Structure 1
């Protein structure tokens, strides 16, 4: 009979299964991830195929005609300077809170892009945040 106390072996932690699981997860995420190529993006003009539903508060209509004249709710502005446009927008929103007022920019297709940017800039300076650009539906 062997009366000597047995020496216990120290427990080992086998890391092989853990490493295998980590590598499988890494492969899964690499395969399922979508990589975008930012350089392949092309800019094209938007088309609108849906209509916007009407809300309770009537929006402020800012119209730009082909000659570059501005109109707010059908009334012509004296000139197309940014200060005049900003004051006219402030008058159009009146006592309403600027953040809740909708503005619809109706620019002629042949009007200069700088005029649309000027209108959007003036709306931002007044505090208008709900700005949309009117389009015509695409005929299929």
Structure 2
């Protein structure tokens, strides 16, 4: 399995977090660069978003939100290897990052690996037991994929 070391990190983070997972994620105010990149990605300008995020990450390489959006932009640009790397970086920094956990599930679906996408869904169920957008979105994507 490609993400064995990664999965161990995520599982360890989940086990150490226990019931404290009710805390919020990504509470910090997005930087202007992150807002710009988000707008670019929302507009489908993934190449521009990638450049903006690369510059941001040169200044702040520990920004899980930026790594997550970079992974999203790479995935939408069909650069799946770089998407994997970016999501892994986001989850190494913040193992409970809702967006990165959802998006890596979406990437599994993109590669036809419904079982691993379902495993990501189970992680999201632990991270947001009362439901969240990321959980609902991945659940819908899995259903559409026939899972």
Normalised by the length of structure 1, the TM-score is: 0.28
More helix by share: 2
More strand by share: 1
Normalised by the length of structure 2, the TM-score is: 0.27
Which structure exhibits the higher relative contact order, with contacts defined as CA atoms closer than 8 Å and separated by 6 or more residues?
A: 1
